[in-house]
A and B are shown apart, each in its own frame.
Chain A
């Protein structure tokens, strides 16, 4: 591979967002039918910002991130419409050659399961160094030094001694650090972290979230955190986008959203987590379970589970209504939901 060439497409516009996803649609065409995994998702991300994408399993939160990374298996997966702009350049129309300069390099991803993301038969340091060498064309010696530097940067103790260890010799938390080191290798602007701490114990989870925060402070990364955990979101996110059945149902600044959710689904999620002041009382869960993405209900996809629904919810698809303060909610009765104290 040749050394890095600067991005061939138009120069980054200074006003553009770091990342701008607009009206993204992703579907999976399977033998049993079409799975509408992402149905018109739009969001932006700026430097130093942490955007959390919150959703339950099957909400499309991971698929929307995989589309940004261009790692959806195709077939069966297809990005059917929308745009994904990195500093103003649409990645979906960029030629493959230029794309390599962005995906994986400028936009990197961390996964939940660090053990399966590392090759068990190669030494950790070698995997780090080789990835760096392939992308930058440096010598093996330099790449090895870079690997040590990266391991230091993610606070792996005595990196120089541990560089020749195999993945299984690392604990879960240390393996996740290796994954973060790998993501950092090419100096990205954006890191997409897909449930980065879900497989980890709570004390280790705290270490990893702290590390991501420190790295963001050091280099101004934009961070997209994909999670189902309302606790993690409350801890680290600046803004929050809530997904349900492949759509954004609510976006807001995080303090605002926790104070006054504007969508019945978000409200229901909040009521589902046990809080100290609810001790001795029953929780108020959302009834039913999330829909299959092959059979998304008509109208508002949340209406079968919603306590605010009226007749028009069964037929009219709610757009993301602005509800003040830069917030938006895809509910016909968002104001009622916000005003309702329960």
Chain B
């Protein structure tokens, strides 16, 4: 609760938080079907219609309502972003914590493996995974989370190593706390702050990657809508129908901006080094 209050008293936190809340609300409306029109319905007679009072953001080549598709698309992009970051956080935390705790050979093996993944060009790794499994929502989730796992592993391992050497961990060990208790209470709880910042920034990056994959035709598959796919569809039509480019472009930009602003605010709030006196 204190953090929420702090976010909303931080200037960029306030804007970022508001943007993210609006998107969540829009995604929710899209998910329960409260869109102005059916996002898949083709109003043939109104093809490539400029924005009007009945189609607030115009219609596309097939006469589908852009606003409804956008709302569905936001939900789609957010679903992929949230699940992939959640998976990457989970995997990265487990790997990073165990690497730091068990050290020695396990640590070396884990960190070399992460080096290998990091040396892979991120988007190409995602592309490779998508082509192996075939495109789709859950493939995007898997691909993005695999790409992001090494980063979380590093974010967790570094601080975990220094925490492990601290006196309070030694103390806990001497009076017989169990390993899992020390790992979760003493290490993990102290890592919540850097993890939260990383999670927020990772969400921005995941949204970007999801849009990129869909843009290349390897993410969400038509006729379902996603922001990247809508942009890609607008490419050949943007001179006749600039609204097909404008709305998804602004929507993608604002969603990423929201998480970036929120991440910045959280870093100011949670990182004691930069905390304002």
Indicate whether A and B interact. Answer: no
Binding site for B on A (CB under 8 A): none
